[in-house]
Amino acid sequence: MTRTKVAVVRCHSYDDDEVFKAVRRGLDLLGGVSGFARPGERIVLKPNVLIGSNPEKCVTTHPAVFRAVGGILREAGASVHYGDSPTFGKCEANVRKAGLKQVGDELGFSIADFDSGRSVSHKDGLLVKSFVVANGVLDADGLVNLPKFKTHPLVRFTGAVKNQFGCVPGLLKSQYHVKLPNPYDFATMLVDLNTIARPRLCVMDGIMAMEGNGPRSGRPKKMGVLLFSSDPVAIDATACRMIDLDPEVVPTSRPGEKAGLGTYHSESIDIVGEDIESFLDRGFEVIRTPPRPCSRSRLRDFVKNRICERPAIDKVKCTNCGTCVRMCPVDPKAVDWHTGNKDEQPTHKYDRCIRCYCCQETCPEGAISVESPLIGRILFRA
């Protein structure tokens, strides 16, 4: 089995100097920045800009990490560009809200085109044989993935592998949820995307992570760590071990290894830098059970709605903004004003729901969380 390396570096705060030193150390532990960028190369940074928001909310990759990685690549002679395709809206507006554009303008990084893309064949994909990939990614010499350390209801943990979903431009992303409602198929698609848009380097921002109702509405949680690797599967598995989450629970791990993207087995990963045990947080709030397929072809709706996790609206927090209704990708909508009265809050029809959690991910009030029906809790107790 191929060996892989993950560098783990402690970093207590987002102070620019501290982050810069930590990033420099992490890259040195992997052999130095020259292994990831050569003079004159066009390098695209791919931060997590799910939805542009204040960095203190921990939804997006922090500007200090973006500054340090981009600055070191620029010192190495690379031409630095950046971008992401957020859940809604254009890249530029979202990177501004996330505080990244201000850093990019200061350091002379330009925004790459993540709003449109081109079709690319991927005949070796495990499941998906072609993708539309953002022009900014296809036009780059190299991609550097800057994921945020967060929870996610569909894949349990969102790190390096899931972050690459933002290489698919705009609303095309939601079509993958409709076509691949089984979470294991969806995860395999993510792996296929990573093997066609493979990052040279991943630097994960876990200084302040997000636990609970991630990836948008969870709580910031200090982990005080930056992780570095050219292997997106191994970096995710290492982060999972820090929060006592079995990497096999994350559905991208096995196909990631099968596709040759990387490895999640601890015996194949050389950890350099700090000992991961020193970061162990067993109380980190994350769903620790594997996702359960809930597609109609697998279970009758009656059974599905009594055992499968599902999105649930907190009526106290809901402001009836309608974002969840707009973002629900199925037709007819599973979350909607089913009574026809838009003055009332939307409700879910679970027999239509494919459990993609786009509604939970995009609710601006954090009013949607994942609930397990009682029978499901009894049957699938972790």
Residues of the shown chain interacting with ligand SF4 in the complex, contacts defined by CB under 6 A: 311, 313, 318-324, 327-328, 330, 334-335, 345-346, 348, 353-359, 363, 365, 367-368
**Which of 244, 371 has the CB closer to ligand SF4?**
371
On the question of a cis peptide bond just before residue 39, with omega within 30 degrees of 0, the verdict is no
Question: Could you write out the DSSP letters of every residue in 282-298?
Answer: TT-----SPP----TTT
**Which of 19, 189 has the CB closer to ligand SF4?**
189
| Nearest one of 88, 129, 113, 114 to 168, comparing CA atoms | 114
* Shortest distance in whole angstroms from residue 313 CB to ligand SF4: 5
Distance (Å, whole) CA 92 – CA 84: 9
* Shortest distance in whole angstroms from residue 124 CB to ligand SF4: 30
* Shortest distance in whole angstroms from residue 239 CB to ligand SF4: 25
Question: Could you write out the DSSP letters of every residue in 210-229?
Answer: EESSTTTSSEEEEEEEEEEE
**Which of 101, 304 has the CB closer to ligand SF4?**
304
* Shortest distance in whole angstroms from residue 349 CB to ligand SF4: 8
**Which of 35, 364 has the CB closer to ligand SF4?**
364
Identity of the residue numbered 67:
R
* Shortest distance in whole angstroms from residue 219 CB to ligand SF4: 18
Which structure tokens are listed for 124?
Answer: 């070796």
Which structure tokens are listed for 242?
Answer: 């820090």
**Which of 227, 363 has the CB closer to ligand SF4?**
363
* Shortest distance in whole angstroms from residue 210 CB to ligand SF4: 18
Q: Are 135 and 117 in contact (CB under 8 A)?
A: yes
Helix axes 63-75, 100-107, angle to 10 degrees: 20
**Which of 247, 311 has the CB closer to ligand SF4?**
311
| Nearest one of 68, 56, 86, 263 to 163, comparing CA atoms | 86
